[in-house]
Amino acid sequence: MDHFDFKAGELHCEAVPLSEIAREAGTPVYVYSAATIRHHARVMKAALEPTGDPLIAFAVKANPNPAVLAILAAEGLGADIVSIGEYRQARAAGILPDRILFSGVGKDKDEMAEALAGGVCQFNVESVEEARTLSEVAIEAGLTAPLGLRINPDVEAGTHAKITTGTADSKFGIPAREAMEAFRIASRLPGLKVQGITVHIGSQLTDLTPLEASFRRVGELIAALRNEGIAIDLADLGGGLGVPYEPGQPEPPTPAAYGAMVERVSKGWDVRLAFEPGRLIVANAGVLLARVIRVKPGERHPWIIVDAAMNDLMRPALYDAYHHIEAVRPSGDHIIANVVGPVCESGDTFAMARDMDRVDADDLVAFRSAGAYGAAMSSGYNSRPLTPEVLVDGKQWALVRRRVDLADCASLPLPKWLLPR
C-alpha cells in the first residue's frame, strides 16, 4: 500500500501534485511519502509483535536520507548499519545506540572503535579474523564489545545473483559447518561478549522457503551452542523480504505471512529476535520524478529520452530491475517504447519494449518503487549532479537533499606540474 494516487487526472504524492514538486524543485527528483514510510513501519511492527519484543532495525543502506531516518526513529525503529557514516547518520536522526546493529564484512578498526565508544546493540561479525580485531579494539578501549556471529546457511535465495548472500561461496558470514568452532574461539577472546547469532541470505526474496530453511539452521545452532554453555540472547534474522515492483506479477509474501512463519519456526528459542528490513519499509514509499527530454524515432520502438539516468537510479542497469513507469498526467493512450536516460552508455536503459502511457517531450513521468536503493546508490557519473530528494507529509513538502553538483566538489586547483606553461 502506498500514498501515490491519481486525483483530477494527475499523480499525487499524498495531497501534493507531482507537477508542483517538479516545477519548484526541478527534475529529476526523488519524492518520498512520509505516510507510506510510517505505514510500512507499523505493518512490520504489527507483523512481528507476536514474536515477543523484537528489535526492528531499518537497513540504512536502503535509504539514508536524514528525514527518512527521523521518521523511522520516531516510529521506534532501530538501525542496521554497515559503515561509520551510517552509524553517525542513525545517531543524528535520534536512533538510540542500543537499537543499532553494526553489520558488514569489512569494518575497520577506527569504525569499530567509534561505534564501541558510542554504543551499539551488537557487532554482527562475519569471520574469526574480524572477531580477533574487535577483541583488540575492545581491550585497547577498556570496553566490552557485544558480538553476534553471522552464519552463512548455504541456501539459494532464489533472487538476482548480485543480491544473493547466503550461498556457500559467498564473501558473507561464516560457513554453517564452521560456526560452532567460530563461536568457541570468539567466546574465549577477551573484550568480547558473545551474545548473538545472525543470518541474512539476500534481498528481494519472493518466497519464504529459503528464509525458513535458514532460520531453522539458526535454531539448530542456538540449541547446539546452549549445549556447550554458550548463551545466545539475540537472534538477528536479517532483512530481505521482497516488495511488489511489477503490476500483474504475483505479490511477494506479506509481512504478516513472514511474521507467522518466524513465530512458528522460532518457538522455544528463548531469545530476543531482531530484523533488518530495508526495501520493505521504503521501496514503495518513493518515486523518481523525471521529465521527457525528447522522443526519438527508433528502428523497432521509439526511444523516450528522460532527464533521469542510470546515475540517478542504477537498479535497472545493474540488476535488470523492473520499475513501473507512469505518466504523471496520462492521456489515456498507450505506446510501446524504450525508456532511456542521457548517459553515454547503452546500459543507461530503464525499459525496453515497454507497454506504457504515451508521453511527449516535456511530459513528466514517475519511476515507481524507487524509495529503496535509489538515491542511496546514485552517483555523479557523466558529471551529472546528485538528484535532490523531497519529502511529502500530507499537504506539506520540503527539500530534504539539495541537488549536489559533484563537478563543483571536485574543483581543487590543478597540481602545479599540470598547470599550462
Cβ closest to ligand LLP, residue 303 vs residue 319: 319
Shortest distance (Å) from residue 315 CB to ligand LLP: 5
Shortest distance (Å) from residue 70 CB to ligand LLP: 19
Cβ closest to ligand LLP, residue 11 vs residue 62: 62
Cβ closest to ligand LLP, residue 316 vs residue 330: 316
Cβ closest to ligand LLP, residue 199 vs residue 386: 199
Shortest distance (Å) from residue 170 CB to ligand LLP: 11
Binding residues for ligand LLP, per CB under 6 A? 59, 62, 80, 103, 163, 200, 203-204, 238-240, 276-280, 315, 319, 372-373
The residue with cell 578501549 is 141
> What are the binding residues for substrate?
279, 315, 319, 345, 373
Shortest distance (Å) from residue 333 CB to ligand LLP: 32
Question: Active site residue: 13, 121, 344, 409, which one?
Answer: 344
Residue 121 designated active-site: no
> What are the binding residues?
240, 276-279, 315, 319, 345, 373
| Active site residue ranges | 344
